[in-house]
Structure 1
């Protein structure tokens, strides 16, 4: 089980600034030690402010690879696309120089696109130097939904794939997601949460002795130090 360290902040702005600095520092360490760095980010409303802080960090972004933890199987310009969110809020100014790899292909379904996505991700340095997760109110993280029939396979630690197709029954759209095995291999794993309700859900998920929700499975399987950043 991971050594999970909790970082509480008085404001979301303070959280965004501090998390962006920690992410940039981890990427800088990777660039110094290995010459390249890799970053996987989540979508939704929560990371927007952090993205806007991170894009101000002075790094050699041309040596950084960026991808998504998960995405809806939608065109990249769709309003609900995580790729669109990242392009609008992170891949700006100096970060435009980064090597970005999206998870959506021209295939009709995520199942049909799995091999192409795996091939697109192949050049990205692995394990990820930094991976940032969010969490839904049902305890899902990435697109590992507790309601989905694909959860057992996508969350299997011996799954050799980096990505899985997921069809949640409690949320719209087919999805593509990094597998749990790919997530927990990351060198620096961060969970970014806001709001008292999500904090309570997270605490309950971590305390449950059985029927582990996806967010708890991450920290059950991760090793080393992981971080949860939270503000009300």
Structure 2
């Protein structure tokens, strides 16, 4: 199972996600990182997971503010060779392309995450996959408390999904409630050739093993790392 560490950025600091309730996020308090400085936290998490990707949720952008371009540029400069999966509330491919233009010459290491809660239409999803390629874009299928966050109908557009799809169960993020294996297994049955990336609820290596058995090829992790619930990964 591939681990992809996550940092949630709010007003220039790393915060702890709590069940997807962005109003409740506070600067991270971590047993692994004695800081909420983004560069410090990112370096420690990437090293702990022996990761080649880092997922960055820009909460300023996700809550209607501006993308934190300067901070993203600093992360790209500090993490040589690391791919940044960026969720900044992209409504369409133009928004993601604009971010890439702002972050040149590092644009080739930016992977846009197109979230079902943010995309404006099914046509926008199709355009995103066309312009970024099935292997270049990531789709996040978002849900909270059993309800799909999906105004564009992405969940049912299986033929439009890119190669990598995140299964984002928001009420389990930062909850320690365990992973949503039922949804993962159902989506894996619907699209067995897709690489599914889970998000939310993981508490242990046993949870990761069960998630892998359900069809997950990777998992987004944050709280379990900060709480020392997952061991350091070998390089």
- TM-score between both structures, scaled by the size of structure 2: 0.40
**Higher normalized contact order (CA 8 Å, seq sep 6+, divided by chain length):** 1
If the length of structure 1 is used for normalisation, what is the TM-score? 0.41
